[in-house]
Amino acid sequence: MTVHDLRDSPPPDVGFVERLTLTRIDTDIFTGWCHAGSPLRAFGGQVAAQALVAAGTTVEQPGRQVHSLHAYFLRGGSTVDHIVYMVDRLRDGRSFSTRRVRAVQYGKTIFAMSASFVEPMAGPSHRPDAEWITEVLPPQDVPKLDLADHLGRSGPLEDNGYPQREFIDIRFLEHDWARTFSHGHYDRMAWVRADEVLPDASLYHVCALAYFSDLSMVGTVLGHHGGSAEAGEWELASIDHAMWFHNRFRADEWLLFATRSPIAASGHGFASGQFFDAGGRLIATAAQEVLMRERRR
């Protein structure tokens, strides 16, 4: 991944690759800037993607690719100052490398993640039957989502940290149709891809998918409780997030993200999702728990 000189202010409103770019200030210490996902609060998907950039940059064995990550969102991050990513090299074995990353801001850890990297291996395989994907409305026939409106942006970048341009193209299929079509197995389906051609290195595409995965999981939980219109009554935040990567893919090509929320209880909501490529191949699985409780007066 690319590194640049330390900046005292956020980078200009540039492309998706630049938003994943970090500054290396020591062997295993990096800094980056994150845009907002809610007013003046760093978007969790970008924090996770940048943490994965930091972890992957320290894996020096050629050919090792991300196969899983497990993360906790501990505090809201600020968009008006950089975030420091500190990497611990837990293990470099014959086949696996394991890294732990802490994202720190103002001396406090706001995010923690463990990530595992592995060399490709031969072994038995099976996969779900996803021929149904050919019956899903193609992305060119689905309206593009205004991501700024989806995130609730109310002003330009300099006012609240939101990007002035969109980095991804996301297109939600009609939710009732998705439930009926999948016989209740999925609550939501969305086509998604990066809005620009990404470099060939697999780490870019894995980090982009980590970014994508945080865009609709909360909405999947809220869909059972009146949707975003009711969200003002509750305190909402991502608590933890996990992903498993099953096959190689490109995040600048159309992927279908199908998600479901089987339960919400005790102030927590749970959602899981699967990413398929346009041919129906399962490429990644994601899971997230969401804080969803009444606002404290």
Dihedral through CA 258, CA 255, CA 38, CA 78, nearest 10? 120
Mean pLDDT of the chain: 86
CA proximity to 117, closest of 101, 99, 97: 97
Query: Which among 46, 105, 213, 238 is annotated as catalytic?
Result: 238
**Is 288 annotated as catalytic?**
yes
Q: Residue 58: what residue type?
A: T
> pTM of the prediction?
0.87
Examine the pLDDT at 37 and tell me if it is beyond 80.
Answer: no
What structural domains does the chain harbor?
16-120+130-294 (2.40.160.210)
46 catalytic? Reply is no
Given 214, 252, 261, 277, the catalytic residue: 214
Residue 4 in this model has a pLDDT that exceeds 50: no
Q: Is 214 a catalytic residue?
A: yes
pLDDT tens-digit map of 174-204: 999 999 999 999 999 999 999 889 999 999 9
